[in-house]
Structure 1
Amino acid sequence: MKPAKSYDQLVRENEALLLQLEEATETIHAIRTGQVDALVVEGKDGHQLYSLKTADQTYRFFIETMNEGALTLNEDGLILYCNSQFASMVGMPLSRVIGLSFATFIPADQMETYEKLFRQGWSEDRKFEMALQGFNHQILCQLSVSSLELDSGISLSVIITDLTTQKETQKLLKANNQRLEEMNAALEISNHDLLQFASVASHDLQEPLRKIQMFSELIKKRHGDDLPAESVRYLEKIIDSSERMRTMIVDILRYSRLSSNDNTFVKTNLNDLVGEVLNDFELRIREKNARFLIDPLPEPEVNRGQLRQIFQNLISNALKFSKHDQPPLIEIKGEVLPGTHDDEPVCVLTITDNGIGFEQQYAEKIFSLFQRLNTKDVYEGSGIGLAVAKRIIDKHNGHIQARSQEGVGATFIIHLPLKQKRLA
């Protein structure tokens, strides 16, 4: 058993240790700041001198500011130089890292992989993912190795990128994607069920509504002359309300059907399409004494039936919201704008009327379901038409906007891809 050290011996020993620590700290600081351009390392053949050609102050400042660990190895795998980031990664003081074999930080089960990487790195740049053994933990890293010229020969430069955050992010992203897939599947089922419900409910609602309308009309026809004026007025309100409800049910059914995956797009002559719609509105156009100015229109790839619905809704609104003292004038124009960069050419359609218009602050609101800017007593409708139009344009990968001024008229501008993108 060794005799206990005296107080004076312990003091002298502590002073010597403090002196060694200060010398080591100064040496490390000198290496990092470029004050030292050479290292003496004890190797298998005794002490060897290494002088770094790249060990100037600018280079070391760059290495020290890197987010990655950086170090230089000699042919025996000893660490000649490293930055503070690597020392922080392995959880050791910088002074203890320099001079160690880099293999110290390689787990036993990955030693073979490291040795292969170390051998190949002298002749070609290599990258590989592997774990490093820190003080009390392992770090999943990417090692990038390449040769580095020194005064005494070639050494190996190693850049270590910590992949922990990246792998955790990838894991979280994978979990989120899986969750999104599950939610999308559930949403598809829900949308299908909702579509079925809307279809069934609409049909079921129309039958009792049809009877309300039919029997109300019969009462008015057969007994209208015998009823008090007030009762006749109430009966007419029932008939009008039933008709509005029937229109709303049909519109809701039409809106819900847009959820189905009907993405059949074909090149379509829009002038023919508009002509069909004008034939449908022939009587209303004659009653209103309306005029139409229609330019030659482009032929984009669209779902013909859905785009026909858009023209029906917009032309119907232009006729409906016309001024009482001025015949409607409706202009329909179209042009093709060239694409930019990777974008395809765009078809731009504008439908302009000279009707009552609306305040521009409501330009977004009018595309929402059941939004009305006028009372139903003056202008009939369900408030769904423009919502249907927007839904259709969205399904065509386009967009629609409105510009208007109250008392002047309204313009609807539609942007559509000239050609729809095909799924691979």
Structure 2
Amino acid sequence: MKHEKTITDLRAELEELRHQLLEAHETIDAIRTGQVDALILESNGSNELYTLKTADIAYRVFIEKMTEGAVTLSRDGFILYCNQQFAVIVNHPLSAVIGSSFRVFIADEDLAAYDQLFENCWQQDSKEEIRLKNSHTGIPVQLSMTALQIEGTRALSIIITDLSAQKKTQLQLEEANRKLQIMNKALEESNHDLQQFASIASHDLQEPLRKVQMFSNMLLEKNEELHGDSKRFLDKILDATRRMKILIVDVLNYSRLSARDPMRETVDLNKVVNELLEDLELIILEKKAVVRVGELPSIAGNKGQIRQVFQNLLSNALKFTRADHRPVIDITAQTVAEKYAQHSTENSRFTLIRVKDNGIGFEEKYLENIFALFERLHTKDKFEGTGIGLAIARKIIEKHGGAITAQSKIGAGAEFLIWLPMQ
């Protein structure tokens, strides 16, 4: 009678097979990762020693640790070897990948390109971007293909670099560039609107304002009997229209700086400052101010704009004075080689111009405020002005590739520092 195995026997055999399979997997993993360099196998009642070359161990460890996929193909395109990373890329078990045709992992739309690449790479090393299948999606990769001679047999080594992150970044960059182009177009339109506003400000707004001033003056002259509140109100109207005219002109000047850079020329700063001192002669005499000017260089720039910078700085120095001190203004220059300005390079040379006064000064925590549009540190009843002058000065200096800043203390004057590229 034939002996039949019991369920217990079958379970024991199954457990033994599972144990052997686990040992086989562990041995294969150890070989792949270089943990062993020799094997002893029992064959026909005797033991045989199989060794692995040390160089091969290091190579296997390196390949398994790579973040790229690594594949070796036979001459007919079948996978002789691949690392774990390639199996992860194509989302297949390692056991299902080895022995398969590499072609089955190529996206359908790229098969023709791959076939051509496969034929060419046996003659010369080749690189190509292509898409691999990953379940139902395609993965952009770069194939780096090199033909090898392995133990007398021609084989093909392929390094597979996943380009998914790179492509995603590239798409994000393209999207950012697209949005930037839209923003630039909107900015150009905004600048155009600003130029339109400048045109309106220079003609349509100033004309009615001039009439308000003219008729207010006529009313004041023809009505000598005006007194009390009537005369005071009329004086306030004239003061308001005068300030509004100055504000319109300042806004117009600032908006014009947004236009295309005008033609530049050689500007002698000595001549610019001397001309300004002649224009400001009356207020200098009135305030008994002392203006000392050192030797200034020539620069490449727009003379009108540079003149406006110095006019704003000198006007402020003569305006914000201390009642008990005679105003003293010093203008000096020196050559420096500092990477301070926005367009500077390692070999840039700048002229550093200092405009220093002994006026009321300001707290340096308000440094950025004084260069902002319409920012004032003092009320208009104490010091006149629109709060645009220094904003215009900064914009002009930056358009000339330079920079401007200031340092000051309350009651100890202010010093403005200007960096401009040398001619």
Please indicate, yes or no, whether the TM-score normalized by the shorter chain is above 0.5.
yes
Counterpart CA distance in 2 for 1:349 and 1:119 is: 69
Query: 1:166: how far off?
Result: 2.1
Q: 1:77 to 1:405 in 2, by over 3 A?
A: same
Task: Tell me whether 1:336 sits opposite 2:340 in the alignment.
Answer: no
Counterpart CA distance in 2 for 1:117 and 1:209 is: 77
Task: Tell me whether 1:382 sits opposite 2:386 in the alignment.
Answer: yes
Query: Could you tell which deviates more after superposition, 130-139 or 190-199?
Result: 130-139
Q: 1:107 to 1:192 in 2, by over 3 A?
A: closer
CA displacement 1:209-251 (0-9 Å, x = unmatched): 2222222223333333x22244333332222222111111111
For 1:235-254, list aligned pairs within 5 A: 235-254=234-253
Corresponding letter in the other structure for 1:365: N
Counterpart CA distance in 2 for 1:151 and 1:110 is: 32
Query: 1:366: how far off?
Result: 0.8
Q: 1:240 to 1:252 in 2, by over 3 A?
A: same
Task: Tell me whether 1:106 sits opposite 2:140 in the alignment.
Answer: no
Counterpart CA distance in 1 for 2:397 and 2:57 is: 63
RMSD between aligned residues: 3.2
SS in 2 for 1:356: coil
Query: Could you tell which deviates more after superposition, 340-349 or 391-400?
Result: 340-349
1:52–1:150 CA contact under 8 A, matched in 2: no
Task: Tell me whether 1:411 sits opposite 2:415 in the alignment.
Answer: yes
For 1:3-402, list aligned pairs within 5 A: 18=18, 22=22, 25-35=25-35, 54-57=55-58, 59-107=59-107, 110-111=110-111, 113-118=113-118, 120-121=120-121, 124-147=124-147, 155-224=155-224, 226-338=225-337, 342-402=346-406
Q: 1:141 to 1:217 in 2, by over 3 A?
A: same
Q: How many residues align?
A: 403
Query: 1:200: how far off?
Result: 0.8
Residue ranges of structure 1 left out of the alignment (5+ in a row) = 1-5, 40-48, 420-424
SS in 1 for 2:56: coil
1:129–1:140 CA contact under 8 A, matched in 2: yes
Aligned counterpart, 1:42? none
Query: Could you tell which deviates more after superposition, 251-260 or 105-114?
Result: 105-114
Residue ranges of structure 2 left out of the alignment (5+ in a row) = 1-5, 40-49, 340-344
Corresponding letter in the other structure for 2:298: E
2:33–2:64 CA contact under 8 A, matched in 1: no
Q: 1:135 to 1:248 in 2, by over 3 A?
A: closer
Counterpart CA distance in 2 for 1:90 and 1:50 is: 32
Corresponding letter in the other structure for 1:402: A
SS in 2 for 1:400: strand
1:28–1:95 CA contact under 8 A, matched in 2: no
1:28–1:94 CA contact under 8 A, matched in 2: no
Query: 1:27: how far off?
Result: 4.4
Counterpart CA distance in 2 for 1:297 and 1:141 is: 61
Counterpart CA distance in 1 for 2:140 and 2:7 is: 47
Counterpart CA distance in 1 for 2:135 and 2:36 is: 28
CA displacement 1:254-311 (0-9 Å, x = unmatched): 1111111134333321111112222221111121222222222232222221111111
Counterpart CA distance in 1 for 2:111 and 2:53 is: 28
TM-score of the pair, normalised by structure 1: 0.83
Q: 1:114 to 1:201 in 2, by over 3 A?
A: same
SS in 1 for 2:259: coil
Counterpart CA distance in 2 for 1:301 and 1:330 is: 25
Query: Could you tell which deviates more after superposition, 351-360 or 69-78?
Result: 69-78
Counterpart CA distance in 2 for 1:52 and 1:96 is: 27
2:362–2:410 CA contact under 8 A, matched in 1: yes
SS in 1 for 2:379: coil
Q: 1:125 to 1:395 in 2, by over 3 A?
A: same
Counterpart CA distance in 1 for 2:24 and 2:78 is: 18
TM-score of the pair, normalised by structure 2: 0.84
Aligned counterpart, 1:46? none
SS in 1 for 2:298: coil
Q: 1:215 to 1:73 in 2, by over 3 A?
A: same
Counterpart CA distance in 2 for 1:385 and 1:277 is: 16
